[in-house]
Amino acid sequence: MKTPAATKLSDLKLDAKNDRYVLRLYVTGATSRSRQAILNLNAICSEYLKGQYDLQVIDIHQKPTLAKDEQIVAAPTLVKRLPAPMRRIIGDLSDKESVLLGLDLKRKS
């Protein structure tokens, strides 16, 4: 699930900075919730971060030690590693506004 780096972002409406987004989505197997999270994330990324992000989807059932190393408790968890600050966005990412807040693509008004 890697989206290769693409062209420069031109139409970023919100205050995203110019650096790349490094995102890790931790899911637990092929549950409907996992699928939902992946779908939602892809939609948000293609809308706001077009090509300016690294996304890796990891099944913690397959790599349980990563759950410890990455401090995963809730599932699904989307970890925004970069840009700083690091943030954990939990849930199936269906609340788009919250996801954007978590990704610093939007500020609390």
Q: Under 8 Å CB-to-CB from 40, ≥6 apart: which residues?
A: 92, 93, 94, 96, 99
CA–CA distance, 36 with 103 (Å, rounded to integer)? 18
Is beta strand 87-90 parallel, antiparallel or unpaired with respect to 77-82? antiparallel
Q: Determine if 21 is a binding residue for another protein (CB under 8 A).
A: no
Q: Determine if 38 is a binding residue for another protein (CB under 8 A).
A: no
Q: Which of 9, 20, 28, 56 binds another protein (CB under 8 A)?
A: 28
- The interface with another protein within residues 40-69 (CB under 8 A) comprises 40, 60-61, 64-65, 67-68
Q: Determine if 90 is a binding residue for another protein (CB under 8 A).
A: yes
Q: Determine if 71 is a binding residue for another protein (CB under 8 A).
A: yes
| CB burial of residue 85 (10 Å; 0-12, 13-18, 19+) | exposed
List interacting residues with another protein (CB under 8 A).
26, 28, 33, 36-37, 40, 60-61, 64-65, 67-68, 71-77, 85-96, 98-99, 101-102
